[in-house]
Chain A
């Protein structure tokens, strides 16, 4: 249907370019100026790695980065494990009452304004007398990472049509072996995609983390925010660029994994 070709709409190109520029222009500027030898973000003084070195040697950033990495890794692992179990229970188990309600509940955090989750988490932790710190950040992160891990995994699982687990059990595999040798490898792209997405979401989170961190515990986004408030330095450019690159790599890999997803899940016969 040629008439619907979106490229033919008047102004399509201009509007697209404008949106892309607003979205990515600032990031590009930050990335470029993180290599600027001057402290300015308006004039170019030559190429340097100095800001990266300085950022890496900054003890505040070091501590924050380690905290962020630790939380992101553990939160990604835990939330993915929970997401796998939830996806299996919802897709493979016997249908039960309230199944679609449960599905909605799992994915609700995606739609609730983050500030609401943040405030209610804070109130909750204080109400039960929990000390704010690394552990509260971790718990909060696990919770809001679950839907991000759940979506690619359940999408992958839905693409797996057929009696693969039954076939495995028929061939003397226990339920665990059927999962370990058959279902898990078939789900793997979804699992990796879920791990990466939840890792990135955790690494980048600011609002919730800021709320439940308590005094003295920092993660990278909090450290960056703190530094910006004191005064802008090119170190911030450098560290932001590192974060940007990490996100970019992870999201790209995750995208490619889910794109060539269940191609093999249902074995398609070739023509004879």
Chain B
């Protein structure tokens, strides 16, 4: 392995058990230098546990963690060049903002004048230069958040860990902080490992996302990868919205499966994410990829049960013959097909190549 291949963080077969409960199950991940990497998953899936293992607050039951090829699993938290932005900030209440930011460098025995310089740099990066003499309790939630960020960045860690740092902020602030975090990550070039259960946050900010569920990593990829080519039903359901229709698999040739639907019709779908000997599965189609057409057109027959105008687009719910409900979203101003009435019999058209065959 040459120097360029070095991963910022490399996790090998990590597992964590609390008593009999398996919080993390054989997790392996590679996080590249300068990457904005997100751990995304529902509550309780083990995101915080994984982050705390990287930080050194939990020991792995098994497995290894490497920081630029150095095995750090056995090192105590204070000897890992990794800093954390805590969800509840954990700013030291008896210290000023500047003292908080300087603390890490003080512990690292950085020379005094350099501490002063880097403290004010870090504070101006988060636009809090004029607050350096305040106590944390004299700041708003958003400002405290930024102090926590400056404090974690000032010692120049190799990797910055952020555990749902925006979840305590209101919506407006959260959105502006997303942009600010992105800017700071690019400006500093520090690898960010970001934890969230908010998929919109994950999709808009990350270079790559690891989708987790029940202690396992389900899929790793860019936002586009996991949205357009989900690996399994969990990912397809968790990221964005999707329609799932049960099918029988007739044949698979070169990652294209020929599947039979409940109404007897055949559909070709991408099948790169499933095992070869599988007989049944579900096809997943995003609501914006489905089209509605008149009853006489070729397609799956159904009845419109709901029609919701959403501004830029309209959402129709269609009940199929086997009682499956499909959600179909079409952009408004797209032509005459935007208007279907409740109770109307229609056809749902699935264009070739948009359906993905998945299993659990």
Contacts and interface: CB of A to CB of B under 8 A. Distances in A.
Interface in A183-224: 185-186
B140 A170 contact: no
A166 B135 CA distance: 20
Contact of B107 (A173, A264, A270): A173
A172 B78 contact: yes
Contacts of B82: 170
Interface in A215-241: none
A257 to B, nearest CB: 14
A267 interface: yes
Nearest to B101: A171
A16 interface: no
Interface string B79-118: 1001110101111111000000001100110000000000
Nearest to A262: B93
Interface in B37-84: 55-57, 76-79, 82-84
Contacts of B93: 186, 264-267
A179 to B, nearest CB: 13
Contacts of B155: 171-172
Contact of B78 (A170, A181, A266, A271): A170
Contacts of B104: 171-172
B232 to A, nearest CB: 34
Contact of B140 (A177, A186, A272): A272
B83 A267 contact: no
A267 B91 CA distance: 7
Nearest to A165: B90
Interface string A254-272: 0000000001111111111
A269 B138 CA distance: 7
Contacts of A139: none
A163 interface: yes
Chain B contact residues: helix, strand, loop or mixed = mixed
Contacts of A174: 78
Interface residues of B, number: 36
Given A173-B107, A185-B94, A271 B84 contact: no
Contact of A267 (B56, B89, B152): B89
Nearest to B86: A163
* Size bin of chain A's contact surface: 20 to 34
B173 A272 contact: yes
B139 A166 contact: no
B86 A171 contact: no
B144 interface: yes
Contacts of B94: 185-186, 264
A225 to B, nearest CB: 44
A190 to B, nearest CB: 13
B281 interface: no
Contacts of A163: 86, 88, 90
B101 to A, nearest CB: 10
A82 B94 CA distance: 24
A272 B155 CA distance: 29
A162 interface: yes
A119 B242 CA distance: 78
Nearest to A268: B137
Interface string B242-279: 00000000000000000000000000000000000000
Interface of B: 55-57, 76-79, 82-84, 86, 88-94, 103-104, 107-108, 135-142, 144, 151-152, 155, 170, 173
Q: Which 8 A-B pairs have the closest CB atoms?
A: A269-B141, A264-B93, A171-B104, A172-B107, A167-B90, A267-B136, A169-B77, A272-B140
Given A163-B86, A167-B86, 9 more contacts: A167-B90, A168-B92, A170-B78, A173-B107, A267-B91, A267-B136, A269-B139, A270-B138, A272-B173
9 contacts: A164-B90, A164-B92, A166-B86, A168-B92, A169-B78, A170-B77, A186-B94, A264-B93, A264-B135
